[in-house]
């Protein structure tokens, strides 16, 4: 299905999936108007892997008259494990929802912040067509980091990566997210980005 990973985009969003900007956004910067961070080779030394799981729920057979007559399908709880070589500290702490103390420290609370929600968009390519992008999105996720291991250098340099678990939350009737394929008829990259990263409605913007 896919060939490599180009980049991962992420943004802090509110409960309706609207991107937060300025001091409330992922950069924590009053001058920031986009609220979307792109992790790639230039900003984070590249994305090592993204693993999605639980995209569908379990299935249960329904029997009647000594036959399997129906299969009931439960709803999954999609997750995405994103491994980045080196996320900027500000970005990592922002998506984890860790509170800054104003002195360079960020609180380890021992649990994920369920009110700190993050939209995610991953870009790859078709397995045998490097010019045909494919995308996977999660509209709203709670992000956690279960563990962190630091290893001594020896004959080799030993670096740790940033492995973050994105646990998806449904965005109203829109579901958990979408697959997008550039080769699909009618594909519109701007429409995709507008769907995943909903812009705030201002006096000059029609919702």
- As a whole number of angstroms, the distance between CA 202 and CA 85 comes to 36
**pLDDT by residue (tens digit) across 36-88?**
999 999 999 999 999 999 999 999 999 999 999 999 999 999 999 999 999 99
> Domain extents for the chain?
7-148+157-196
Residue 98 tokens read as 């860790």
Residue 207 pLDDT level (bands cut at 50, 70, 90): very low
Owner of token pair 């299905």: 1
**pLDDT by residue (tens digit) across 151-206?**
999 999 999 999 999 999 999 999 999 999 999 999 999 999 999 999 987 655 55
CA 38 to chain centre: 11
Query: Contact at 8 Å (CB) between 160 and 148?
Result: yes
- As a whole number of angstroms, the distance between CA 175 and CA 47 comes to 26
SS3 content of the chain, % helix, strand, coil (to 5): 10, 40, 50
Which element (helix H / strand E) includes 146? none
Indicate the DSSP class of residue 126. Answer: E
Cβ within 8 Å of residue 59, ≥6 positions away: 71, 72, 73, 74
Q: What is the dihedral of CA 25, 77, 133, 45, to 10 degrees?
A: 50
């Amino acid at each position: 299905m896919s060939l490599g990973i180009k980049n991962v985009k992420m943004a802090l969003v509110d409960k309706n999936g609207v991107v937060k900007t300025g001091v409330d956004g992922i950069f924590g910067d009053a001058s920031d108007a986009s609220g979307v961070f792109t992790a790639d080779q230039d900003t984070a030394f590249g994305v090592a892997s993204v693993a999605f799981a639980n995209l569908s729920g379990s299935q249960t057979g329904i029997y009647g008259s000594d036959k399997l007559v129906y299969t009931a399908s439960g709803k999954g709880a999609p997750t995405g494990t994103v491994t980045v070589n080196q996320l900027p500290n500000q970005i990592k702490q922002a998506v984890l929802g860790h509170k800054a103390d104003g002195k360079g420290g960020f609180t380890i609370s021992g649990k994920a912040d369920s009110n700190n929600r993050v939209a995610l968009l991953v870009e790859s390519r078709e397995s045998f067509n490097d010019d045909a992008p494919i995308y996977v999105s999660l509209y709203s996720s709670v992000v956690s980091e279960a563990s962190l291991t630091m290893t001594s250098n020896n004959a080799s340099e030993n670096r740790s990566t940033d492995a973050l678990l994105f646990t998806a939350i449904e965005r109203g009737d829109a579901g958990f997210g979408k697959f997008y394929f550039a080769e699909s008829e009618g594909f519109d990259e701007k429409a995709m980005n507008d769907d995943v990263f909903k812009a705030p409605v201002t006096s000059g913007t029609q919702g």
